[in-house]
Amino acid sequence: MIKDVKTKNLKVIPDERGRLMEILRQDDSLFLKFGQVYMTTTYPEVVKAWHKHEKQTDNVACIQGMIKLVLYDPREKSSTYKEVNQFLLGIHNPLLVQIPPGVYHGWMCVSAEEAIIVNIPTEAYDYEKPDEQRLNPHDNNIPYDWRRKDG
């Protein structure tokens, strides 16, 4: 696992009315602080990648559909420098992934339906000076191929 990346299995509480899923609580061991909460969607087979933050920690959960979340550690002083991690998360694997500053990340929707992702970053988005560095999803130096691996 990439240094400082943490995961949390999410608790789903069903009853006759539906279900509730806790994503992040202030009493969780991995809780740092609250910046904002937002929801984003990704259509089937679309890749949303790569980006990283210098200050912000992301807490990502997929609440509908399934995504392949991939992380890459470009931090030269990290013990996991150049390591790649892949997680499948969503309706069939309710998981929160905490992504530390400096780690590139992105995802691909691998379900037949639109994926809905919730992110709880530690910082509010700064419209004037966004804490975000982006790379082309396919043309970069990250050793990862987004194509599905059949077999």
Q: Which of 11, 2, 15 is nearest to 85 (CA)?
A: 2
Average pLDDT over residues 86-95: 97
Give CA angle at 118 (101, 143), nearest 5°: 50
61 pLDDT more than 90? yes
Identify the pLDDT of residue 74.
98
Identify the pLDDT of residue 150.
87
Identify the pLDDT of residue 114.
98
Identify the pLDDT of residue 92.
96
Average pLDDT over residues 69-91: 98
7, 94 in Cβ contact below 8 A?
Answer: no
> What DSSP element (H or E) covers 112?
none
87 pLDDT more than 90? yes
62, 90 in Cβ contact below 8 A?
Answer: yes
In angstroms, how far is CA 68 from the centroid of its own chain? 9
Identify the pLDDT of residue 120.
98
149 pLDDT more than 90? no
Task: Band the pLDDT of 119: cuts 50, 70, 90.
Answer: very high
Domain 6-13+31-129 CATH class label:
mainly beta
Longest dimension (CA), the chain: 51
148 pLDDT more than 90? no
Q: Could you report the per-residue pLDDT of 122-142, keeping only the tens digit for each? A: 999 999 999 999 999 999 999
45, 108 in Cβ contact below 8 A?
Answer: yes
CB atoms within 10 A of CB 90: 25
Q: Where are the beta strands (DSSP E) in 10-151?
A: 11-15, 18-22, 38-42, 47-52, 58-64, 66-72, 84-90, 95-99, 104-109, 115-119, 133-134
Q: What percent of the chain has pLDDT over 70?
A: 100
- The domains of the chain are located at 6-13+31-129
